Amino acid sequence: MTGDHLFQLLRSYDPSDVSMQEFYALWREGISAEEAVAVLGGDTATGTPDRFGEWGSGSDGSGEQAGGLLVGAFSGWTVLIGDHRCVGDEAAIKLSRQNRRALALEWDFHGECRLKYARSGELITILDVLDIDYRSGSDPDALDPYLEGLRFSLDEEPAVEPAESFTSALTAIGRVVGRQINRDWLDSPHTSYAIPADDSM
């Protein structure tokens, strides 16, 4: 596999020029889809069978129109894919309460690209995916055991492309969770939910 294989996997669902400029996803252990959606202010009554390749959130997260979440089970965790509101600091904190863990990938190539780790209602680690020397949280080094062999920083030698940085972030999440995202999961049936306009996470 190439160093950017997960980026290319997700991009294969939309090969347009703007594909993968933004991607927002959160993993939370030990919670049902309905519970997670409710925590984030979504309407659990709107649940509709859906797949990643057929799903569109309906919003860029500006709050000017209704958005959406694609939610699916993931080996004891629940994955939520949506707009930037589902990976905000408050969302990660809310979803990590009750002594649980949450991991979020915020990918906006023209804005913030961050990997977040929260536990028990606290932001433990926030890493800049494009330069992991920039980090914060109550324990900025907590994810280091999961980063071995991964390349992030764009100024590394040999050069690291953003697609590899993205893949490294997803790989690190997979190491924590115990399972990597793959085409089988993306193509499996999940559920989409509506997020009201002007909802703040």
Number of folded domains in the chain? 1
Angle at 137 between CA 140 and CA 109, to 5 degrees: 85
The mean pLDDT of the chain is 90
CA 23/CA 106 separation, integer angstroms: 7
pLDDT at 59: 47
Question: Is 122 part of a structural domain of the chain?
Answer: yes
Domain assignment present for 200: no
Residue that wins the pLDDT comparison between 136 and 110: 136
Q: Give the side-chain half-sphere CA count within 13 A for 156.
A: 17
pLDDT (tens digit, 9 = 90+) per residue, 118-140? 999 999 999 999 999 999 999 99
| Angstrom distance (rounded) from CA 124 to CA 138 | 5
Nearest to 198 by CA among 36, 92, 85, 106: 85
Spatial separation of the C-alpha atoms in residues 43 and 68, rounded to whole Å: 9
Share of the chain above pLDDT 70, in %: 92
In a domain, residue 115? The reply is yes
pLDDT band at 54 (very low <50, low <70, confident <90, very high): confident
Q: Evaluate whether residue 49 is within a structural domain.
A: yes
Residue 201 in domain: no
> Model-level pTM?
0.92
Domain housing 88: 5-195
Q: Under a CB-based contact definition with an 8 Å cutoff, are residues 193 and 37 in contact?
A: yes
